[in-house]
Each structure stands twice: as structure tokens, then as C-alpha cells.
């Protein structure tokens, strides 16, 4: 991640083996107990994402964690499907 002052200029995501996917959506429910994030995708589909091993950041450069996300926040989630479950490696809060 490249930051200029308090603004994120760019983020580089390394593609590892497997199929990496980017999902865009709106936070419905962050669950700090289960370490999951329920989001509504831009398509309208509701998905629960495993964020137990994910890194969190924001486009504004501010500190973000699962506990700091709230319903209505816009996010981009990067990761891959493991069976029917989406496992995130990076959660980017937009704005």
C-alpha cells in the first residue's frame, strides 16, 4: 500500500495460487465473535465472509478493523471461495 499524507494512493494485491476474487458490497453486520462480515453484494446477494485471517485497511488511510466496520459501510473484499464459503485475505473500506 502506498500512502501520501492521509490518502491511500495505491494498493497492490499479490495473487497467490488459486482463484482470487474481488467482491464489492455494503456491510450489513460485522460479527467480531465469529470473525465474519455479512455483506450485500452490488448484485443484491447477501454473503457471509470469513475474515478471521484478513487484513483490514481503508481508502482514506484511517485505521480499520472488523470492530470498526458498521452497517452501511462500503467495502471491497478480496479472497477466494473455499467450497461455498468465501474466505477474505483483504477487506478495504471505501471512504
Is the per-residue pLDDT at 89 higher than 90?
yes
pLDDT tens per residue across span 46-81: 999 999 999 999 998 888 999 999 999 999 999 999
Q: What is the pTM of this model?
A: 0.78
pLDDT-derived band of residue 83, with 50, 70 and 90 as boundaries?
confident
DSSP, collapsed to helix, strand or coil, labels residue 64 as coil
Which pLDDT score, from 0 to 100, does residue 7 have? 73
- For 8, the grid coordinates are 491511500
Rounded to an integer, what distance in angstroms lies between the CA atom of residue 24 and that of residue 16? 20
Q: What is the pLDDT of residues 42-55, one digit of tens each?
A: 899 999 999 999 99
Q: Does residue 31 contact residue 39 with C-beta atoms inside 8 Å?
A: no
Amino acid at each position: 500500500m502506498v500512502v501520501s499524507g492521509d490518502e491511500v494512493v495505491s494498493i497492490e494485491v499479490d495473487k497467490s495460487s488459486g482463484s482470487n476474487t474481488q467482491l464489492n458490497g455494503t456491510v450489513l453486520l460485522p460479527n467480531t465473535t465469529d470473525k465474519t462480515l455479512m455483506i450485500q453484494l452490488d448484485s443484491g446477494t447477501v454473503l457471509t465472509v470469513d475474515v478471521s485471517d484478513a487484513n483490514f485497511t481503508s481508502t482514506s488511510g484511517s485505521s480499520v478493523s472488523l470492530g470498526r466496520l458498521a452497517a452501511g459501510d462500503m467495502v471491497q473484499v478480496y479472497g477466494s471461495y473455499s467450497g461455498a464459503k468465501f474466505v477474505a485475505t483483504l477487506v478495504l473500506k471505501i471512504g
